[in-house]
Amino acid sequence: MNERQRRFADEYIKTGNGYKSAIKAGYSESYANNRITELLGNVGIKEYINKQMQELHKNNTMQAEETLSILSDIARGKRELKRGEALRKRI
């Protein structure tokens, strides 16, 4: 995969818009209009997009699990919010 294809893939991951991603990656409007399917069908680009999406999903899942763990600890009284600690000190 060349650098322009990588830029296209990175933009596509962000926007989901093939045409705009191709333009932003440096392809001409004509190429973007006529070759989006070809770009998205490129094995190297598809593999790169899939790998990046899996990594994003993994990171988001970890953040969600960490957030739920913190909220669970707060609900069980094992952890307090920082703001709550500040209010307690004032009283």
Q: How confident is the model over 44-89, as pLDDT tens digits?
A: 999 999 999 998 888 777 777 787 888 787 788 877 666 655 455 5
9, with CB counted inside 10 A (0-12, 13-18, 19+), is buried
How many domains are contained in the chain?
Answer: 1
Q: Which two tokens stand for residue 91?
A: 């009283």
Give me the domain span that covers residue 13: 3-90
For tokens 């960490």, the residue is: 66
Helices and strands: H and E segment counts in the chain:
5, 0
Q: Which residues contact 49 (CB under 8 A, 6 or more apart)?
A: 9, 12, 13
CATH number at residue 34: 1.10.10.1400
Rounded to an integer, the average pLDDT of 33-54 is: 94
For residue 15, what pLDDT band results from cuts at 50, 70 and 90? very high
Residue for token pair 């763990």: 69
